[in-house]
Structure 1
């Protein structure tokens, strides 16, 4: 009987040990694809919009003041036709009033100076095909027609009769409209010179 109990106890210990070991592991999967083609994005004017010096007296205390509406030419040149999206990162996101807008920096570290928004207009694919802008909020799974380029959203080019999927593109040309606005100034300290400090990174994401 003693031998039987010892064998049973040993079996229980082994079962418990196996269960503990199984619960202490997790799988790591590293995956992806290496593609032969590559795309290079470019912006006219070196991607810089300079509003110059603006007098605080020209800004409205009770409403936002639009200080500029500029259009840059954006091109994306690829080695071959490929599916891709354009993705934006707001480098001043903490100073933005909402997630749909890009921030223009802070005054004294806590007062949000203003914002700018981006729109994609007049898309042309492969030098001759008129296209429409589409957006995806889930990294390319579902697409919809949209020309407002919000931070973090994927944007791409689609045929004029189908806004549900991107086109394979070798060359893309578009007008990137940048509208800059200063917040109402009754809550801003403008007693000293303030830098307008907007910055975003625009990158190609291969689909």
Structure 2
């Protein structure tokens, strides 16, 4: 009888130790902040970047044709100081013709990565016209009138990723593709923490390139049809 009691005690102790380290449930937390501030993004010129009429006879028949650089400015206006960023999404991704576009970024470097380019639509013969890039001018960003540093996170589906790095002229790219989204925001000079402000100004450059005219095989006037959506990210 004594031995049986000892065995029972040993079993009970074993169960107690097991239950102290093992759990059969886990908690799901849903976090977020309801903000009272509202912010509005606007692009000057109605959001239109116009490269004008481009005579095909002036273009290369066999090489990528860089059409030039056009400026446009994104302004984000908030009702009260807010930490805010933005993403871009290519609305014509199916028409993207990946190519090497020279002098695409503010430092003069080329663009060749698919994730950093946007589609320009199709010809009447269903040929992809080309691609364009969108780059921030990092040295000209302002928040409430003061110079600010541009920040970006690594491209992914997690637009709230807070692993920020300072934007450089060679890495001032927006990214507009699923799985390759990047949030861009601003910080007080010399810091890596998004700053709260009421008016954020991001000067942008758009550089476009189209395929060789022999490849395009255009016989009628053809409209380029690039389109991207800018969306705000409350940080």
- After TM superposition, the score normalised by the length of structure 1 is 0.78
**RMSD between aligned alpha carbons?**
2.1
* 2:188 is aligned with 1:168: no
Partner of 2:119: 103
Q: Distance in 1 between matches of 2:94 and 2:67?
A: 21
Q: 1:110 to 1:130 in 2, by over 3 A?
A: same
Partner of 1:51: 51
Work out which of the residue numbers 160, 167, 172 in structure 2 matches 1:140: 160
Alignment length (residue pairs): 179
Work out which of the residue numbers 123, 129, 150 in structure 1 matches 2:175: 150
Q: Distance in 2 between matches of 1:29 and 1:161?
A: 34
Partner of 2:41: 41
Confirm or deny: 8 A CA contact 2:51 2:67 kept in the other structure. yes
The runs of 5 or more residues in structure 2 that have no matched partner are 1-26, 99-113
CA-CA distance at 1:83 after TM superposition: 1.3
Q: 1:171 to 1:110 in 2, by over 3 A?
A: same
Q: Relative to total residues, which structure has the larger strand share, 1 or 2? A: 1
Partner of 2:128: 112
Q: Distance in 2 between matches of 1:117 and 1:40?
A: 23
Partner of 2:215: 187
CA-CA distance at 1:73 after TM superposition: 2.2
Partner of 1:123: 141
CA-CA distance at 1:186 after TM superposition: 2.9
The runs of 5 or more residues in structure 1 that have no matched partner are 1-26
- After TM superposition, the score normalised by the length of structure 2 is 0.70
CA-CA distance at 1:114 after TM superposition: 1.0
Q: Distance in 1 between matches of 2:40 and 2:120?
A: 26
Deviations 1:146-182 (A, max 9, x none): 32112132111122212x3311121111211111111
CA-CA distance at 1:30 after TM superposition: 6.9
* 1:25-36 correspondence runs (5 A): 32-36=32-36
CA-CA distance at 1:34 after TM superposition: 2.3
